[in-house]
Amino acid sequence: MSSDVRFTDFKSDKQPTWCPGCGDFGTMNGMMKALANTGNDPDDTFVVAGIGCSGKIGTYMHSYALHGVHGRALPVGTGVKLANPDLEVMVAGGDGDGYSIGAGHFVHAVRRNVDMTYVVMDNRIYGLTKGQASPTSREDFETSTTPEGPKQPPVNPLALALSAGGSFIAQSFSTDAQRHAEIVQEAIEHDGFGFVNVFSPCVTFNDVDTYDYFRDAIVDLDDEDHDATDRDAAKEKILDADKEYQGILYQNEESVPYSDLHGLDSNMAEIPDGAPEDATDLVREFY
């Protein structure tokens, strides 16, 4: 940890190729600000991304990074954190990557409570593949492949996280820069799995869930006198289909991370003498 880290230290020399106005710009900026505010150093940070528009984020951030397979970013992040608990691990994905093909991994990552942060850029559509309905699309959302809407209720990722035993469940809006960065920062500082679903509008393929819609619809929990430590209160908010909440919905302040219970005390490259020689050489080869 360093008190001299700046937001710009996490910017790579690659220019983002997202569509102008994409919500992912604000999401990424908030992630970098949060990492800097917590004193993390790029050399001690590992960003894992899945497939989709959000998958490019590791290229645009200056840190260790891996662009994983579709829906499999969380298992990679789990492996990284357990192999080297000294790293700050941040996993980034989209609603399709995380709540469709990756839904099983999401539930198990939540219940394991590994000490890492998961930021999902939820634009309620498949942007990279040109505008199909995603797991979080509205039931009547019309696209070229669902001209009459998906006719299925959208996935509620916050409810999935709560039912799986989530210890930190939050939601933010990418364009509300300061609030978004604050929420991600609290997720990073949480001892356990910090999950933040981010409203990140797609300006190209989604003309329903727009910036204007979220600005009008969002209710900030700081204005609601919400007790984030009260699981029943969190459940009530999460299941309220008429509101788009921003803030920390639930936090178990007594959370004990998986890595503290079952993990290593230091990174695997520092395996003590006495371990099988072949295993030690293999681990250090990939460190």
Q: For the chain, which residues make up each domain, given as ranges?
A: 18-256
pLDDT at 91: 97
Residues near 224 by beta carbon (within 8 Å), at least 6 away in sequence: 237, 245, 247
Q: Among 219, 258, 222, which residue's Cα sits nearest to residue 240?
A: 219
Beta strand residue intervals within 86-233, DSSP E = 88-94, 117-122, 168-173, 194-199, 218-220
Phi, psi of 257 (to 5 degrees): -65, 150
Question: How long is the chain?
Answer: 287
pLDDT tens digits, 143-162: 988 999 999 999 999 999 99
Helix (H, G, I), strand (E, B) or coil at 20: coil
pTM summary value: 0.92
Q: Mean pLDDT across the stretch 163-192?
A: 98
Confidence of residue 1 (pLDDT cuts 50, 70, 90): low
pLDDT tens digits, 119-131: 999 999 998 888 9
**Token digits of residue 199:** 């409203």
Rounded Cα–Cα distance for residues 54 and 120 (Å): 8
Q: Which fold has domain 18-256?
A: Rossmann fold (3.40.50)
Q: Mean pLDDT across the stretch 221-240?
A: 96
pLDDT at 276: 64
pLDDT at 275: 61
In this structure, are strands 244-251 and 168-173 parallel, antiparallel, or unpaired?
antiparallel
Rounded Cα–Cα distance for residues 165 and 203 (Å): 34
Whether the predicted pLDDT of 287 surpasses 60: no
Confidence of residue 252 (pLDDT cuts 50, 70, 90): very high
pLDDT at 7: 84
